[in-house]
Amino acid sequence: MKTIREINLKNKKVIVRVDFNVPIESGIIEDDNRIRQSLKTINYLIENNAKIILLSHLGKVKTEEDKIVNSLKIVYERLKQLANTNVYFSNETRGLTLEEKINSLKEKEILLVENTRFEDLKGNLESGCDEELSKYWASLGDIFVLDAFGSAHRNHASTYGIGKYLPSFIGFLIEEELNVLEEVLNNKDKTVILGGAKVEDKIGVIKKLVNNTNKIIIGGRMCFTFLKALGYDVQNNFVDEEKLEEIKLILKSYKDKIILPIDFISNKKVVDLGDINEECFDIGPKTIDLIKKELLNSSIVLWNGPLGKFEEEIYEKGTKSILNFLNEKNIKTIIAGGDTGNAAHKYNLDFYYISTGGGASLEYLSGTHFKTLDNMK
């Protein structure tokens, strides 16, 4: 994989696809980790006298109203505070004004371009990897750097399209992400924790890792599909009926490898497995103890997806307790992005690695081929 270390960057217009898709609530960035994680690449480009053009998406843009709430202007204001150089903003994603701002850039300066998904209002041009848009964005620079791991699995105009028309390299963030995930794949003494809501997102990871893993611990909303597959009555807790038969086959082959919750928190009270009579929102104390015992047997832990509805204080104990346990025991832990990463930041906990890409991490671990990386070989 070609990295930006391999090229002369002086006075070059470098287009960098970053991932500034940060959580925003009431006009405030709740977690700026993805912006901070991009700084290693950005600072390297500054030090090597490049002219830096940053592209990113933010949220989904389906209507004109979405453009208001998903403008990158708020990210621009934060980036100005973090970057040790002049930072400018373009309200336009194409056109003469954008081109003039790029041509006015001096070495070491940054231009952040408005949300790439604004182009989706014109017929999904970004998400559909429109050829004309890809060529246009490529025409704005001399070099393309892909450093948005959270979007590296998407063949969009700003990730895959530009890379077909310019000399292309990966940034330091993607290099680090890939190295860490390869470390996970190659380590046989690991435990995997999978939570969250979606079963289908995790099936590929289970199949890929189960033979090379100590245990796979299942929690979160997705666990009820597994429990129903074993014959338990889970009442009105969500079950992915379409995946039920596939889960039954996985459990039949690997039941001894998979650990499921044995109690839950339901409406502020503890409910044992077998006595579920309403919706559950967190794992219970027996399950927490069970998980802790299993984690002590691993040299490395991979975790994607919270174990409960941690956003609400009354249902955060499962996720928070296990995060604190891993941190206190100094167990080498890789948080594979998404809401688990948000939880780690919420509780101000440090780990060996916190990925910036939840969906991308899962797809890479399941063996999905990333076409975006082909341009960097």
Q: How far apart are the first and last CA of the chain?
A: 5
Q: Are 53 and 16 in contact (CB under 8 A)?
A: yes
Which two structure tokens, joined as six digits, stand for 358? 């939840």
Catalytic residue numbers, as ranges:
34, 198, 338, 359
Taking alpha carbons only, the member of 324, 263, 252 closest to residue 290 is 263
Buried b (16+ CB within 10 A) or exposed e, 310-324: beeeebbbbbbbbbe
Which two structure tokens, joined as six digits, stand for 223? 């666990």
Which two structure tokens, joined as six digits, stand for 353? 């690695």
Strands 282-283 and 263-266: antiparallel
Sequence-distant (6+) residues with CB within 8 A of 82 are 32, 35, 36, 39
Which two structure tokens, joined as six digits, stand for 297? 């047997």
Q: Are 318 and 307 in contact (CB under 8 A)?
A: yes
Q: Are 72 and 56 in contact (CB under 8 A)?
A: yes
Q: Are 64 and 71 in contact (CB under 8 A)?
A: no
